[in-house]
Amino acid sequence: MLASAAVSVVFAALALGVLFFFDPSRYAFYPACPFHELTGWNCPGCGSLRAVHQLIHGRLAAAFRLNPFLCAALPVMLVAAAKTAIQQLRGAAQEPKAVSPFWIRLLLAALILFTVLRNLPLAPFTWLVP
């Protein structure tokens, strides 16, 4: 268990290192979004690589402009990952807690709403386009 966590940390550090040194808006080796390529629409993740690049350079406003959903969700994901890592390091063998269907539905509804709004050509929502 500890070995898999260490591998995950090393992989994440390498990925962040690549994102730090190679701006996704300048280098073509990053994969294109298959949803955007097929439909021409922006998925909820469109702009995420560029947003993470901006975040690790300390440019929160630029990251928020690229993907506000990611910027809002990232602190929650980091806290959850930190709690899990601390529990594993302490050796606290706990069964994974089931996520309430309410929260799953709420997240899915938020993702769908964000996707629809960022693809509407209306003035109040154009700021959601990466």
**Structure confidence by residue, pLDDT tens digits, 34-84:** 999 999 999 999 999 999 999 999 999 999 999 999 999 999 988 988 887
Identify whether the C-beta of residue 42 lies closer than 8 Å to the C-beta of residue 17. Answer: no
Strand ranges for 1-130 from DSSP E: none
Binned at pLDDT 50, 70 and 90, residue 91 comes out as confident
Domain that holds residue 65: 2-128
Q: Measure Cα distances from 48 to 7, 16, 37, 87, 96 in Å.
A: 23, 13, 16, 29, 28
Report how many domains make up the chain.
1
- Selected residue with higher pLDDT from 104 and 81: 104
Kindly report whether the global pTM for this prediction surpasses the value 0.85.
no
Written as one letter, the residue type at 128 is L
